[in-house]
Amino acid sequence: MASGDERHGEEEGNYGDATMGALREIYAGYAWADVASLEPEAAAARVRVRGAAQAVRAVGRRVAFLVLRQGSATVQCVVSGAGGGMARFAAGLSRESVVDVAGVVSLPREPVRGTTQQLVEIQVEKLHCVSRAVANLPISVEDAARSEEEVARAKAAGEQRAHVGQDKRLDNRVIDLRTAANQAIFRVECQVENVFRQVLLSEGFVGIHTPKLLGGSSEGGASVFKLDYNGQPACLAQSPQLHKQMAVCGGFERVFLVGPVFRAESSYTNRHLCEFVGLDAEMALRDHYSEVCDVVDRLFVTMFDHLNKNCAKELEAIQRQYPFKPLKYLKTTLRLDYNEGIRMLQEAGVDVDPMGDLNTEAEKKLGELVRDKYDTELYMLCRYPSAVRPFYTMPCPDDPRYSCSFDVFVRGEEIISGAQRVHDPELLTAQAEARGIDVSTIATYMDAFRYGAPPHGGFGVGLERVVMLFCGLGNIRKTSLFPRDPSRLAP
Q: Which residues pair with 419 in a beta bridge?
A: 405, 458
265 is catalytic: yes
- The answer to whether residue 121 is catalytic is no
Is 417 an annotated catalytic residue? yes
- Reference 366, options 376, 331, 356, 300; nearest CA is 376
CA distance 379 to 29: 57
Model confidence over 17-69: pLDDT tens digits? 988 778 888 899 999 999 999 999 999 999 999 999 999 999 988 999 999 99
What span, in angstroms and rounded, lies between the C-alpha atoms of 38 and 136? Answer: 31
Q: Is 465 a catalytic residue?
A: yes
**Are 176 and 206 contacting, i.e. CB atoms less than 8 angstroms apart?**
no
Is residue 414 annotated as a catalytic residue, yes or no?
yes
- Reference 144, options 158, 165, 160; nearest CA is 165
At residue 369, the pLDDT reads: 98
* DSSP H helices in 157-179: 166-171, 173-176
Assess whether 187 carries a catalytic annotation.
Answer: no
Contacts of 268 (CB under 8 A, 6+ apart): 485, 486, 487
Q: Determine which one of 12, 265, 291, 413 is catalytic.
A: 265
**Global pTM value:** 0.92
How far, in Å, CA of 121 to CA of 418, rounded? 52
Helices 312-321, 290-310: inter-axial angle, 10-degree rounding: 80
Q: Burial of 297 by CB count in 10 Å (0-12 exposed, 13-18 middle, 19+ buried)? A: buried
Catalytic residue among 272, 306, 343, 488: 272
Residue numbers in the chain where pLDDT is lower than 70: 1-10, 12, 217-222
Which residue among the candidates 254, 271, 383, 423 is catalytic per the annotation? Answer: 271
Of residues 263, 383, 421, 456, which has the active-site annotation?
Answer: 263
- Can you give the pLDDT at residue 466? 97
Rounded Cα–Cα distance for residues 176 and 148 (Å)? 15
Catalytic option among 125, 189, 282, 414: 414
Q: Which of 421, 465, 477, 480 is catalytic?
A: 465
Note if 383 is an active site residue: no
Indicate the residue type of 381.
Answer: L
Q: Which sign, positive or negative, has the C-alpha torsion 12, 14, 18, 21?
A: positive
CB of 460 closer than 8 Å to CB of 257: no
Active-site residue (options: 386, 403, 417, 480): 417
d(CA 377, CA 328): 5
